[in-house]
Amino acid sequence: MDGTLAIAANNLTSPIILFFILGVAAAFARSDLSIPEAIAKGLSIYLLFAIGFKGGVSVADHGVDTTLVLSLLAGMVLSFLLPVLAYTLLRGMTRLSVIDAAAVAGHYGSISIVTFVAATSVATSAGFNPEGYMVAVAAVMEAPAILSALWIVARFGKQSADMEDGLIREILLNGSIVLLVGAFVIGWITGDEGMQMIAPFIQGPFQGVLCLFLLDMGLIAGRGLREARSVLTPGLFAFGVIMPLLGASFGLGTGLLLGLSPGGVLLFMTLAASASYIAVPAAMRVALPEANPSVYLTLSLGITFPFNLTLGIPIYLAVATALTGG
């Protein structure tokens, strides 16, 4: 317990977390502080490029093996099954309709790439080097969760989800996924030689860019919470904290079964614990237009994202370290 508290305290005083807290505080204080949209987009592009490329270089050094393939398959299975668990909890803990519960559930099988990047940074700071192919696992965990949410509606709802032509293509060709996977493949192809060519660009500025990006995320999360208090019932709030812990436990079991390193187990826990606030909301607006966006955005971005960033990741790191002997 003391070790977990020490890790949590250290994480809470790291620059990336403090900038996120600054953003939340500024939003609640109604400050006019803001990051221009174009700059925020550029920060996002940089982070996706850097984490994808470094992951590809790591795989080039490690090589393709059975564990990599099994990790990808496990990620897809988890992404499809976790929304079913989330839907069951929501129907028991809240009064959400089938449509709203399914839309929320879809967010909890998918992933938050920013949470993943933050967990990678924490793992590296703790002296762990996670498996580089975890970037690919993150990429394959987007679409299955969305399909799971649509299956839930078709199975339990009175109406079917709107599967417009091109929806799956839009999901798979989401800009974030294309950049993440593309950078991963390029890093894999070029290996250490490619890394040496662009290392000053993707290594030195990384932490500073992450701080600015999390400042922006704090502003967005804080404003979302301030404006959506009316929809945040005690049951929904409890779900936003309980579900990531349950998801992390499934990620923990999966990582241990696969024999991943402490850093790899941490990242699998983080992926299973996180909730999407980019790809899935966009898909839900098309496939389930009747669902209330304020509910699923408040939960994923206003509750689960801050929880994972401030308390969840330190807990996952402490558990992964203890159970892997790291």
Q: Which two tokens stand for residue 208?
A: 């500073």
Q: How does the average pLDDT of the chain come out, rounded? A: 86
Q: What is the pLDDT of residues 148-189, one digit of tens each?
A: 988 898 888 765 555 555 556 666 676 777 888 889 899 999
Read off the pLDDT of each residue in 224-230 and give the average, rounded to a whole number.
76
Residue 225: inside a domain? no
Q: What is the pLDDT of residues 4-56, one digit of tens each?
A: 556 666 667 788 888 988 998 999 999 999 999 899 889 888 988 888 898 88
Residue 318: inside a domain? no
Residue 114: inside a domain? yes
Q: Which two tokens stand for residue 153?
A: 């509606």
The confidence score (pLDDT) of residue 253 equals: 97
The confidence score (pLDDT) of residue 161 equals: 52
**Residue 217 or residue 275, greater confidence:** 275
- When mean pLDDT is compared across 45-49, 221-225, 250-254, the lowest value belongs to 221-225
The confidence score (pLDDT) of residue 168 equals: 63
Question: What residue type is assigned to position 274 of the chain?
Answer: S
Separation CA 39–CA 116 (nearest Å):
21
Whole-angstrom CA distances from 159 to 98, 154, 193, 270 are: 10, 7, 54, 33
Residue 289: inside a domain? yes
The confidence score (pLDDT) of residue 244 equals: 97
Residue 25: inside a domain? no
Whether 288 contacts 105, CB under 8 Å: no
Q: What is the pLDDT of residues 276-290, one digit of tens each?
A: 877 788 778 777 888
State which residues form the domain around 261.
35-206+233-294
Q: Is the pLDDT of residue 326 over 70?
A: no
The confidence score (pLDDT) of residue 7 equals: 63
What residues contact 229, with CB distance under 8 A and at least 6 apart?
A: none
Tell whether the torsion through CA atoms of 10, 11, 16 and 18 is positive or negative: negative
Domain count, the chain: 1
Residue 12: inside a domain? no
Residue 112: inside a domain? yes
**Residue 281 or residue 96, greater confidence:** 96
The confidence score (pLDDT) of residue 9 equals: 67
Residue 30: inside a domain? no
Q: Which two tokens stand for residue 131?
A: 């498996």
Confidence band of 87 (pLDDT split at 50, 70, 90): very high
192-219 burial by CB neighbour count: b if 16+ within 10 A, else e?
Answer: eebbeeeeeebeeebeebbbbbbbbbbb
Question: What residue type is assigned to position 176 of the chain?
Answer: S
